[in-house]
Structure 1
């Protein structure tokens, strides 16, 4: 069993070890629905209550499988986070027999970046439908930053700064969600968005581990010195 920790001042209590659901979207290879369910059953039995997914993961497949597994549980048993920044659209030409974006998924969709107010609101509503759940606890802005967008970073960053963050803050202020953050692969963008508004948490993929701890040099210090430390 795992200890729980609170995310900032959100009131959300999450297990110290969470479940990343990219594999439920058939990351690199397909798994069966039964295998996905059994994996989630094992995670729940171990005491994990934090489950993170994204529209990107299997082009909606991960969200569908995760929602199916959690739907019959009391809401108090789990905290769910998903991501915004991409919109899924039907693609009748999709070759579902080959890897797309690294996923062996049968879902006939494509994804498009959109960090605007309308794009984030649509992504949130679409995720509720795919999950088949009435509530999402945490929304993370997915893959914003130079690492993903290169020369187009200023364009997408401006979308988030000028209108996208407003959508996140609005949903949080209304109590529709409890926390907002980023789900990214670089520390620099986490530091940069602190000038946009108040973020409750950051999911830093693969950039802070036993083998890689460069994030401690600036990111941890900058976050710890803010008025509202993040945990």
Structure 2
């Protein structure tokens, strides 16, 4: 269960991922709806750009993201891509007459509800339902999703259930996905974690993972996939009203992003290119995943990721006080 050749290995699992992958939350109508053909075009563009790592979850559109991803992948060589999905929230159909629950940022979703379930049977049922929606017999990577408020259940049943699936060969790599780097660090220190997907905490604007998560991952041999490299959009386009951590950016954070953008401009580097490259300064980072809502966004991110970023840019950001001294910085 290795997936496509090349890329970085996750832990010591044999599962390899390319340096950039597709985050599939937009396929679940995150913030705004997308059509079926648009969703297919996003996936096809990602695969054409060699983004053979595709990250989804039942939470994304209460199963809609997995369904659309499965339809877009139908008929493709199963060895040509790697999929990660997540557990923790089990889905159930709405009862007749039941009002749809809060969409949690997702719109126009199927008539289902999310139920927290970190029990062994619940996790296995969640995986089986995901496989059906994805139209596949396996996923390479399985993550416990947003479980920062369910720590006891993680230790008692959640992670043991994932470890059992790994031992059976049903999945290749297991771990966690969330945006709380301190909680991730605790899990990595205590458990046999292959990979973590850390969103928004190892970026040009937020470096928290450098002090808690990244050192323990390097010590334990746990790989890191970085999500949220644009911090909800601010580092893609730092304009008034841009989002930072899922809400409108505070004035001081917006100003900091614009100052970083100005320094990038001095080196002829788009801010997006620097944001995509920054996480690779740390050796534990294996990949970044980027959510894209259109084919054009996939192509743009691919171009940005291919841009050269001179080492002098990072040192200039440190000298201007826009990055702390002592951070691991990418080599050219």
The CA deviation at 1:105 is: 2.5
CA distance in 2: counterparts of 1:81 and 1:56, whole angstroms:
13
Residue 158 of structure 1 pairs with residue 152 of structure 2: yes
CA distance in 2: counterparts of 1:213 and 1:195, whole angstroms:
19
Q: TM-score, normalised by structure 1?
A: 0.89
User: Gaps (5+ residues) in structure 1?
Assistant: 146-152
CA distance in 1: counterparts of 2:158 and 2:107, whole angstroms:
30
* Bigger mean CA deviation after superposition, 18-27 or 188-197: 188-197
The CA deviation at 1:209 is: 1.3
* Per-residue deviation, residues 141-192 of structure 1 (Å, max 9, x unmatched): 00011xxxxxxx3xx2221211222211111011110000111011111112
Residue 110 of structure 1 pairs with residue 104 of structure 2: no
Count of aligned positions: 218
Q: Equivalent of 1:57, from 52, 55, 60?
A: 60
CA distance in 1: counterparts of 2:15 and 2:73, whole angstroms:
17
Residue 223 of structure 1 pairs with residue 222 of structure 2: no
Residue 138 of structure 1 pairs with residue 141 of structure 2: yes
CA distance in 2: counterparts of 1:110 and 1:93, whole angstroms:
13
Counterpart residue number, 1:46: 49
The CA deviation at 1:79 is: 0.2
Counterpart residue number, 1:178: 172
Larger Rg over CA atoms: 2
- Where 1:103 maps in the other structure, the secondary structure is coil
CA RMSD of aligned residues (A): 1.7
Counterpart residue number, 2:199: 205
User: Gaps (5+ residues) in structure 2?
Assistant: 1-5, 224-283, 285-332
Q: Is the 8 A contact 2:7 2:17 kept in 1?
A: yes
* Per-residue deviation, residues 33-78 of structure 1 (Å, max 9, x unmatched): 0000011111111110000000010001000000111121111110
Q: TM-score, normalised by structure 2?
A: 0.63
Counterpart residue number, 1:120: 123
Counterpart residue number, 2:316: none
